[in-house]
Structure 1
Amino acid sequence: MLNQLANTKVDRRDGKLAMAHLYVAFIALAIGGLAGLLQVLVRSGKLELPAGIGYYQILTVHGVVLGLVLTTFFIIGFMVSSVSKTAGTFTARQRTLGWIGFWLKTIGTAMAAVMILLNEATVLFTFYAPLQAHFLFYLGLTLVIVGTWFDSAAIYMKYGQWKKANPGQPSPLLTFMTVITLIMWDVATLGVATTVLFQLLPWSLGLVDTVNIGVSRALFWYFGHPLVYFWLLPAYMAWYVVIPKVIGGKMFSDSLARMSFILLLLFSIPVGFHHQLLEPGIDPAWKFLQVVLTFLVVIPSLMTAFSLFATFESFGRSKGAKGLFGWVKKLPWGDARFTVPFIGMLAFIPGGAGGIVNASHQMNQVVHNTIWVTGHFHLTVATAVLLTYFGVAYWLIPHLTGRIFTKKMNKLALIQGITWAIGMTFMSGAMHAAGLLGAPRRSSFSDYGGAAQAAEWVPYQIAQAVGGSILFLSIIIMLYIVVNLAFFAPKGDQEFPVGEVADNAEKTPMVFDNWKLWVGITACLILFAYTLPLIDLIQNAPPGAKGFKFW
């Protein structure tokens, strides 16, 4: 049966909603990128911030604006577009929910940003207690989360409408991937919403005197690790579905793509303790269990790598490639829509290896709370994920604005991707090296004081400043491309590339759309991994905790 609701082009009204999200995302890139440049310059000792601006203030701006605002707004914009394209135009009611979500997120972002800029919320990206922010910061974060729930509701309703119109058929792959990602997000945000609403917000308002920090950190990391996959899964959406169409090939397997997303849903949430391996209050047995669950995520990651490179090789062979690596020459290296995300894919290889180190019991103790961890994030989120988002933006923005991605912009996009790769090689490489030498995470040059090791770290801080400067240049190029594609590029029809499945691929089984099964297994894994540890953290709170010991 043919898809009865799919569009050849994203509806103009849905496109406006998506573009509103993308505008906010790239404004966040400009602000967060500037904060990042200032940060590496201060860390290298080559700059002192003016007007009493604090190093940890710009560090908070950089982490929150890029790690939460840029990613969340871009992801929702991409997902709205993907669902509108593959499952059909949103109804007026669904679109209204999307706009409510957009304004809640925007207002919440503005509230949190103002508090950070006023130095009332210098609590870093993780906003751990006992660092305390103004209550408007926490309220703003709450609005952002609630806003995404409205977005989810709109997309779930659209998915249900598609299923009703296409009984017995597997859902469109991009829509399926969107639903999986949002289920993971909605379940994960219950943790951070709980700690913000019931612990940090009452505490910042003076309604309670203390906070159970162990519970707060556990709830944050219940959310914090799935957040990484919330960033990553939209990149996987582009890798699995968009890139095959861009290169002129076909997807290796629809079923393999769906299975990898389901496994990522199952194994991404009940693993937060691997971020807390050196923290007290959590029994080592529970930490070890979640380390094991963390390593299971390697399976869908390897499935993804296999599927992608099978797609690339199949395409190359179809073009007459011979030999073991002859297919590499057949790939469209001159097309930035492919090459820039491909650079991100390559960066994910060392990024994933670093993640294995971070999640390991023994090796984690070597790099824990060193700048190695920051280098890891910059390889995964700031390279693999962001370069893929940029590659998506090259065609998505002109598709939504009725313009085209010109040859001139394509050449500039290639330069942008290459400069990003060069800058990140300097910066992330120096972070990893300095981390192995013990350089602390989140530290400025002045924090080193008279430490004997400080001189040993300085060359790496300078290398970070060089890399950060190159990255900022790449950001400027990217912002120029975005403005051009949104407002000045020639009018025309830019394709929304959606790949087709290879002719010899197995038929997709309907069990993948059995949400009762997959959400049920996810809930069981979460309850198994978190119930007893959270009870322990509450019942065995430090002396002096009052009442329920949640505070």
Structure 2
Amino acid sequence: MQSSFIKIDKKDAGLVMAHFYVAFIALALGGLAGLLQVLVRSGRFTLPANIGYYQVLTVHGVLLGLVLTTFFILGFQIAAVSRTSGTFSKGSRLLGWIGFWVMVLGTGMAATMVLLNEASVLYTFYAPLQAHWIFYLGLTFVVVGSWIGGASVINEYIKWRKANPGQPSPLLTFMAVINTVLWIVATLGVAATVLFQLLPWSLGLVERVDVLVSRTLFWYFGHPLVYFWLLPAYMAWYVIIPKIIGGKIFSDSLARMSFILFLLFSIPVGFHHQLVEPGIDASWKFLQVVLTFMVVIPSLMTAFSLFATFELFGRSKGATGLFGWFKKLPWGDARFVVPFIGMVAFIPAGAGGLVNASNQMNQVIHNTIWVTGHFHLTLATSVVLTFFGIMYWLVPHLTGRILTKQMNKLAIIQGIVWAIGMSIMSGAMHIAGLFGAPRRSSFSTYGDAQQALDWIPYQIAQAVGGTILFLGIILVLYIFINLAFFAPKGEEEFPVGEVDEGAERTPMVLENWKIWLTVLVALILVAYSVPFLDMIQNGPPGSKGYKLW
């Protein structure tokens, strides 16, 4: 019997699953480190075997913030392009494998140094904290490997455009390319600071580095990193969720335009992470705060498109009243429910982001654990739950298995467990942050003993929430292993939505890369060129000669 589903080629599926294996190993180890971290913060637990608190914190941040996300996203984007633009050529697939193994090598190098306590510098690896040179070289390999893997996606897009002149590319492919371009442009900053500053410094080739320059280059990368995480979730929300619920994509053009705006406005805004740092003129900080708030526009476009899709579907099923469509959604389908929890979490997460980016309100919460709570609502809830929702259908599609009713029910339970744990942990972080509880500190490192005692209830709440989250990680790992190796053989659909018949035709100007890349470069130059030159020319006394290398 011939399959009714369009299947991804087995060789492409093998490449995607290789990325997923690394991603979920990182989830297991990083999640364990996170559990140890919140237990230490509670003041009721001491790490064994002379393991340092910041060592565990670095493991948690690097594995979950960088390794899990990068490997999952690259794997998902390869799958999305293969599904919508056709099987990868041998050359593109080879690029994908080369990129994968270079990233694995780099991850192994960096992880080894962290485990040996030679790189307890947190995931931001701020100077003057210094790691072993192998850690920095490993990070370089991870970035370069991701560029090679990204090149395979871009290569397939170019191949499709040549074969289909004058036609808009498949929406998922277009979105994957936008996110790949965002990643390549953003990682130029972190590559520069690692190659020209931190690596020579750790090798002893230079005596010191300019901290302001290194932080500026990091946050040139660090903020668009958030959108590199978020855009694959948006890919699922825009294109895959409509198919899962039985509806249609509200507008192809709106989806493409929102992704273009994310590309334009997510990169030249790193200064809003440096609002309290000296050495950057206030007018340039103000400009980047304004550009940061511009990201609200595509976010609201996304919310509008999603709820328009939900309402159109509900009306087609006979829903009446303002919110009658809500009851018509498939609440028994984990492929929808788990990402939907992530969508709901993005409402308070987005509101918290506006606080972080506001010059005045940022003064209240800067470097408090509020920021950590916000981070866990955006990445660890909205993004990660959507990734889990993707995994629940993509892994069985790739492995030739099915999502059984039992695993579907367990996946819904996992999403609920995650929501409960994160509500407790992130809520406690937000409240404690408003009272000034510091970020990245353990119970034993607080300077004021009485103040530490005042925060104990919030630390215990974080430990309770973190423990519940770890149970959620165990559940998702169990489901992943089942879907990869033990679920019954069968066919699971890779759902790709169709555009609503009433939507406007997609204009080809949205794929005119000359326009959008020119605007992107112009925005970056306007936002960074003058303040960056000012940092180099007017650095602190004695810094001449090793501003960049």
TM-score, structure 2 normalization: 0.99
Shift of 1:547: 1.8
The one-letter code sitting in structure 2 at the alignment partner of 1:167 is P
Task: Map 1:261-410 onto structure 2 (within 5 A).
Answer: 261-410=259-408
Q: CA separation in 2, counterparts of 1:342 and 1:456?
A: 36
Q: CA separation in 1, counterparts of 2:394 and 2:28?
A: 19
Task: Map 1:76-225 onto structure 2 (within 5 A).
Answer: 76-225=74-223
SS at structure 2 position matched to 1:278: coil
1:240-294 CA-to-partner distances (Å, cap 9, x unmatched) read 0000000010010000000000000000000000000000110000000000000
2:499 equivalent in structure 1: 501
SS at structure 1 position matched to 2:280: coil
Q: CA separation in 1, counterparts of 2:376 and 2:334?
A: 21
Shift of 1:449: 4.3
- After superposing on structure 2, the runs of 4+ consecutive aligned residues of structure 1 that deviate more than 4 Å are none
Shift of 1:450: 3.5
Q: CA separation in 2, counterparts of 1:386 and 1:246?
A: 19
Task: Indicate if the aligned counterparts of 1:246 and 1:338 stay in contact, CA closer than 8 A.
Answer: yes
1:250 aligns with 2:253: no
Task: Indicate if the aligned counterparts of 1:351 and 1:379 stay in contact, CA closer than 8 A.
Answer: yes
Shift of 1:344: 0.2
1:542 equivalent in structure 2: 540
2:14 equivalent in structure 1: 16
Q: CA separation in 2, counterparts of 1:410 and 1:210?
A: 54
1:515 aligns with 2:513: yes
Q: CA separation in 1, counterparts of 2:265 and 2:455?
A: 37
The one-letter code sitting in structure 2 at the alignment partner of 1:470 is I
Task: Indicate if the aligned counterparts of 1:156 and 1:179 stay in contact, CA closer than 8 A.
Answer: yes
SS at structure 1 position matched to 2:248: coil
The one-letter code sitting in structure 2 at the alignment partner of 1:78 is F
1:61 equivalent in structure 2: 59
1:465 aligns with 2:463: yes
1:315-341 CA-to-partner distances (Å, cap 9, x unmatched) read 000000011111000000000000000
SS at structure 1 position matched to 2:367: coil
1:414-449 CA-to-partner distances (Å, cap 9, x unmatched) read 000000000000000000000001000000000124
The one-letter code sitting in structure 1 at the alignment partner of 2:320 is K
The one-letter code sitting in structure 1 at the alignment partner of 2:158 is G
SS at structure 1 position matched to 2:209: coil
Q: CA separation in 2, counterparts of 1:260 and 1:247?
A: 22
Q: CA separation in 1, counterparts of 2:547 and 2:133?
A: 21
Q: CA separation in 2, counterparts of 1:450 and 1:320?
A: 61
SS at structure 2 position matched to 1:24: helix
Q: CA separation in 2, counterparts of 1:281 and 1:449?
A: 28
Q: CA separation in 2, counterparts of 1:390 and 1:550?
A: 40
Q: CA separation in 2, counterparts of 1:324 and 1:260?
A: 26
Task: Indicate if the aligned counterparts of 2:74 and 2:150 stay in contact, CA closer than 8 A.
Answer: no
SS at structure 1 position matched to 2:497: coil
Q: CA separation in 2, counterparts of 1:146 and 1:168?
A: 33
Shift of 1:456: 1.8
- For structure 1, the residue ranges without an aligned partner over 5 or more in a row are 1-6
Q: Please, which moves more after superposition, 148-157 or 527-536?
A: 148-157
The one-letter code sitting in structure 1 at the alignment partner of 2:312 is S
SS at structure 2 position matched to 1:66: helix
2:424 equivalent in structure 1: 426
The one-letter code sitting in structure 2 at the alignment partner of 1:539 is Q
1:487 equivalent in structure 2: 485
- Match 1:439 to one of 423, 434, 437: 437
Q: CA separation in 2, counterparts of 1:59 and 1:253?
A: 42
The one-letter code sitting in structure 1 at the alignment partner of 2:157 is Y
Task: Indicate if the aligned counterparts of 1:538 and 1:548 stay in contact, CA closer than 8 A.
Answer: no
SS at structure 2 position matched to 1:209: coil
Shift of 1:550: 2.5
Q: CA separation in 2, counterparts of 1:418 and 1:405?
A: 18
The one-letter code sitting in structure 2 at the alignment partner of 1:494 is E
1:133-189 CA-to-partner distances (Å, cap 9, x unmatched) read 000000000000000111121111111110111111000000000000011100000
The one-letter code sitting in structure 1 at the alignment partner of 2:482 is N
TM-score, structure 1 normalization: 0.98
Q: CA separation in 2, counterparts of 1:75 and 1:200?
A: 27
Q: CA separation in 1, counterparts of 2:154 and 2:429?
A: 41
The one-letter code sitting in structure 1 at the alignment partner of 2:387 is Y
The one-letter code sitting in structure 2 at the alignment partner of 1:427 is M
Q: CA separation in 1, counterparts of 2:343 and 2:518?
A: 32
Q: CA separation in 1, counterparts of 2:450 and 2:287?
A: 38
Provide the aligned C-alpha RMSD in A: 0.8
Q: CA separation in 1, counterparts of 2:274 and 2:448?
A: 29
Task: Indicate if the aligned counterparts of 2:245 and 2:330 stay in contact, CA closer than 8 A.
Answer: yes
Shift of 1:451: 3.5
1:3 equivalent in structure 2: none
- How many equivalent pairs are there? 545
2:33 equivalent in structure 1: 35
Q: CA separation in 1, counterparts of 2:62 and 2:394?
A: 25
Q: CA separation in 2, counterparts of 1:520 and 1:98?
A: 28
Q: CA separation in 2, counterparts of 1:354 and 1:413?
A: 28
1:227 aligns with 2:218: no
Q: CA separation in 1, counterparts of 2:175 and 2:544?
A: 44
The one-letter code sitting in structure 2 at the alignment partner of 1:356 is L
